């Protein structure tokens, strides 16, 4: 252990002092307390299921953010990437449009390659794991979103190494209700959504139906075709049936279907002519903020038009059976996704060399999961949970261009047992222990019949001690282990020692404070953490002497992450509400040797460098001011300002995205059943790189040892729009 690892108690001591100071300030200001007592409690007590049981968010010893459906609507959040701007510690990249997600929680990034689709954090819809991309997931009928920071493997399972995001949808209502919403915006964006909910059989059988349509025309001109590029289209429908079989037994069935049909995404190759550093080396490189181009040059004919076509089915059945002393819950799910994706990167026709820059792939994902858990009552002094989990995932992938017939089948089976104990040591002190024992059976079948098989077994504990300094102030300290299974590199041209990689692990040490003061006119949370992350899975490039370079996954040495996260919500007067957050994340390699680093600098070590795709600073500020207009009508103005510091493209810490500052404004009127909202997003037309992918510039170089180049996914610019909602 290094010396700096021995001071984990210091953050908790500092948080305790903050709690005492805040409490003393309240006691010394009776006017504040009296004013609060005369007012209505402005902020509802939010229930979350972060530990698979309903609890108040302020009582959970986990660093988390909760966003209600109303908050998403107020800020005009329609996609996961927009949501991430308001969640401290979470960054989200859409690489090549909505084809590939690259989320980063607490600086724990990864760079996807091959047939591996696993990220370092996990996404769930109503507690069901989502494999593949979530960037096209509709948020129209979301009741709330829970963003959980730190390892969540103990209760949520595999791939929740750095955290988890759970989208909880609205449940069917006991009374008939409906909603119609329409949006029109610049760049030919149109959205429409219809929701119906109510009883089919009073008190026994309830339904909910949600259907939506979205289209976007794009904003960048493609100089090759002289047409606008980057259009997107989604059609989605979801339905629920909730059956109250008896007083103690209920079942909820959900079926959701969506189709995505996107044009080629707006990406641009920053070729080697822009390289400005290490020019005396064969690779060369680019240092500084990458270029943001006003137009693209893409040969979409070479990739059959490019873009993506995706069809997704998501189904689940949840059964709750209440007993006198416990609740039995069963969640069964089946999901299926068909994906066709085509990408051109340099605008040229396919040939032996630059064909590397055109790819067309077909991937089919299919997964089944079953979870069963037994939970004790929440009121007991000793609270417990035991459960079992099974997950079966299969991916069939085929490369159509540039190498037809390059197929692979990736299969994963996961078996797990998990449990939880919570014991009240006193009226103010509670001890928590969670554990998950899991086994992954992974296999990969290549097109030539070669089969890889490996088993990964792991134990992931989480221990927490929570102290209720006052009923409205919680202090906690946690130790948690997270892991993500290893896997395989399927390319037959790789040497044997590079054809597999190991499980990665992380130990997370954390102290936190949550509270409200006075009478919830102000709510706050603060956490400090340290992560010891080993065997980090990152991609590297193998220079194949017989063809194009091969991207493969390997285990890095060791990475250390430290940081703080803070959130504040305040309503000083009834008409004004303010929410602010900030995260400082310092993620540095402690030990990692990279061949390309040696080629550039003569030293293979990147120790001291930041992890790629991980901003050090993240912040957001949101405010709403509302005024009564007479009758049921109310007017409002809402503003958002978000900030992310630069993200490095790779472990060399040379090319980066630049800072991202996004401002948005909303203004409108609403009554009990009608709402009209006028808005502008990216008010100052900030230009930043949505994503940066390292490539080589083969155009004009008759060699696979061509200089470095970078593929830039271009951002959305300023956009004006209007939305109207009618409820009945």
pLDDT greater than 90 at residue 405: no
Give the separation between CA 566 and CA 524, rounded to whole angstroms.
8
Are the C-beta atoms of residues 241 and 309 closer than 8 Å to each other? no
Instruction: Identify the three-state secondary structure at position 648.
Output: strand
Backbone CA torsion sign across 55, 59, 60, 64:
positive
> CA nearest 110: which of 464, 533, 439, 619?
533
Are the C-beta atoms of residues 183 and 142 closer than 8 Å to each other? no
* Mean pLDDT over each residue of the chain, to the nearest integer: 89
Burial of 98: CB neighbours in 10 Å, binned 0-12, 13-18, 19+: buried
pLDDT greater than 70 at residue 404: no
pLDDT band at 436, cuts 50/70/90?
A: very high
pLDDT greater than 90 at residue 402: no
Of 113-117, 344-348, 468-472, 486-490, least confident by mean pLDDT is 113-117
The mean per-residue pLDDT over the stretch 586-596 comes to 91
pLDDT greater than 60 at residue 322: yes
pLDDT greater than 60 at residue 159: yes
Split into its structural domains, the chain has a count of: 1
Give pLDDT, residue 112: 61
Give pLDDT, residue 22: 46
> CA nearest 554: which of 486, 495, 606, 602?
486
Give the separation between CA 234 and CA 269, rounded to whole angstroms.
27
pLDDT band at 346, cuts 50/70/90?
A: low
Give the separation between CA 42 and CA 29, rounded to whole angstroms.
20
pLDDT greater than 60 at residue 36: no
Distances (CA, A) of 269 to 98, 345, 395, 411, 694: 18, 6, 30, 34, 10
Does 313 sit behind a cis peptide bond, omega within 30 degrees of 0 on the bond before it? no
> CA nearest 229: which of 307, 340, 346, 341?
307
Of 73-77, 210-214, 367-371, 416-420, least confident by mean pLDDT is 73-77
> CA nearest 123: which of 131, 113, 115?
131
Tokens of 656: 């980066």
Strand duo 295-296 + 382-401: pairing = unpaired
Of 260-274, 542-556, 617-631, least confident by mean pLDDT is 542-556
Are the C-beta atoms of residues 724 and 675 closer than 8 Å to each other? yes
pLDDT greater than 90 at residue 576: yes
Give pLDDT, residue 451: 87
Give pLDDT, residue 348: 60
Determine the structural domain holding residue 707 and report its residue range: 3-362+369-727
pLDDT greater than 80 at residue 188: yes
Strand partners, 229: 220
Of 158-162, 233-237, 329-333, 509-513, least confident by mean pLDDT is 158-162
pLDDT greater than 90 at residue 191: yes
Of 21-35, 565-579, 593-607, least confident by mean pLDDT is 21-35
pLDDT, one tens digit per residue, over 669-707 is: 999 899 999 999 999 999 999 999 988 887 656 556 789
pLDDT greater than 60 at residue 28: no
Give pLDDT, residue 3: 38
Give pLDDT, residue 361: 81
pLDDT greater than 70 at residue 281: yes
Give pLDDT, residue 448: 79
The mean per-residue pLDDT over the stretch 230-242 comes to 98
> CA nearest 322: which of 249, 218, 412, 221?
249
Percent share of the chain, pLDDT over 70: 88
pLDDT, one tens digit per residue, over 5-26 is: 434 444 445 554 544 444 544 4
pLDDT greater than 90 at residue 84: yes
pLDDT band at 37, cuts 50/70/90?
A: very low
Give pLDDT, residue 23: 52
Looking up residue 659, the CATH number of its domain turns out to be 2.40.170.20
Give the separation between CA 274 and CA 690, rounded to whole angstroms.
19
The pTM assigned to this predicted structure is 0.91
């Amino acid at each position: 252990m290094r010396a700096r690892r021995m001071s984990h108690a210091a953050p908790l001591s500092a948080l305790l002092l903050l709690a005492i100071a805040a409490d003393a300030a309240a006691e010394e200001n009776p006017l504040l307390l009296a004013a609060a007592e005369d007012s209505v409690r402005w902020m509802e007590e939010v229930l979350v299921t972060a530990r698979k049981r309903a609890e108040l968010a302020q009582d959970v010893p986990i660093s988390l953010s909760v966003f209600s459906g109303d908050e998403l609507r107020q800020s005009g959040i329609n996609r996961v990437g927009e949501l991430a701007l308001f969640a401290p510690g979470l960054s989200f990249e859409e690489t090549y449009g909505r084809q590939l997600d690259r989320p980063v929680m607490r600086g724990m990034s990864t760079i996807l390659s091959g047939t591996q689709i696993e990220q370092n954090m996990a996404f769930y819809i109503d507690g069901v794991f989502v494999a593949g991309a979530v960037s096209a997931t509709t948020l129209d009928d979301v009741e709330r979103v829970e963003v959980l920071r730190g390892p969540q493997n103990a209760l949520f399972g595999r791939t929740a190494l750095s955290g988890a995001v759970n989208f909880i949808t609205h449940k069917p209502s006991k009374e008939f209700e409906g909603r119609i919403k329409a949006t029109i915006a610049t760049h030919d964006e149109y959205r429409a959504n219809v929701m119906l909910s109510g009883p089919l059989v009073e008190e026994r059988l309830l339904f909910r139906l949600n259907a939506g349509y979205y289209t976007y025309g794009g904003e960048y001109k493609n100089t090759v075709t002289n047409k606008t590029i980057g259009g997107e289209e989604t059609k989605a429908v979801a339905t629920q049936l909730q059956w109250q079989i008896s007083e103690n037994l209920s079942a909820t069935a959900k079926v959701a279907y969506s189709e995505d049909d996107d044009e080629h995404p707006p990406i641009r190759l920053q070729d080697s002519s822009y390289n400005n550093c290490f020019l005396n080396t064969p690779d060369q490189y680019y240092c500084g903020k990458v270029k943001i181009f006003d137009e693209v040059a893409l040969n979409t004919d070479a990739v059959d038009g490019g873009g993506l076509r995706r069809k997704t089915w998501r189904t689940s059945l949840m059964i709750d059976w209440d007993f006198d002393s416990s609740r039995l819950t069963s969640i069964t799910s089946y999901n299926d996704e068909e994906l066709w994706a085509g990408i051109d990167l340099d605008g040229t026709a396919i040939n032996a060399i630059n064909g590397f820059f055109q790819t067309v792939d077909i991937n089919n994902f299919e997964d089944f999961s079953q979870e069963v858990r037994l939970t004790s009552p929440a009121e007991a002094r000793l609270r417990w949970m035991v459960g079992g989990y099974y997950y079966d995932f299969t991916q069939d992938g085929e490369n159509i261009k540039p190498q037809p017939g390059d197929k692979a089948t990736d299969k994963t089976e996961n078996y797990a047992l998990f449990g939880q104990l919570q014991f009240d040591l006193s009226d103010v002190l509670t001890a928590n222990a969670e554990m998950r024992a899991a086994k992954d059976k992974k296999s990969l079948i290549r097109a030539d019949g070669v089969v890889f098989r490996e088993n990964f077994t792991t134990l992931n504990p989480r221990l927490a001690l929570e102290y209720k300094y006052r009923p409205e102030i919680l202090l906690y300290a946690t130790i948690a282990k997270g892991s993500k299974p290893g896997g395989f590199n399927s390319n037959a041209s790789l040497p044997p020692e590079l054809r597999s990689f190991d499980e990665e692990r992380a130990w997370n040490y954390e102290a936190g404070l949550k509270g409200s003061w006075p009478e919830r006119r102000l709510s706050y949370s603060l956490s400090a953490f340290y992560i010891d992350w080993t065997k980090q899975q990152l991609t590297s490039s193998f220079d194949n002497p017989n063809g194009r370079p091969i991207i493969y996954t390997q285990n890095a040495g060791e990475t250390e992450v430290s940081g703080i996260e803070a959130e504040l919500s305040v309503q000083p007067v009834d008409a004004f509400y303010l929410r602010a957050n900030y995260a400082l994340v310092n993620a540095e390699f402690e030990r990692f040797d990279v061949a390309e680093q040696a080629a550039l600098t003569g030293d293979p070590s990147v120790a001291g460098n930041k992890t790629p795709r991980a901003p050090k600073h993240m912040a957001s500020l949101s405010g709403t001011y509302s005024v009564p207009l007479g009758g049921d009508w109310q007017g409002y103005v809402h503003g958002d300002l978000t900030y992310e510091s630069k993200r490095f493209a790779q472990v060399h810490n040379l090319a980066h995205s630049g800072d991202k500052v996004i401002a948005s404004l909303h203004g409108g009127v609403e009554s009990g059943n009608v709402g009209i909202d006028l808005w502008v997003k990216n008010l100052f037309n900030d230009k930043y790189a949505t994503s940066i992918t390292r490539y080589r510039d083969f155009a004009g170089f008759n060699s696979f040892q061509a200089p470095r180049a970078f593929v830039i996914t271009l951002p959305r610019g300023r956009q004006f729009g209007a939305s109207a909602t009618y409820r009945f």
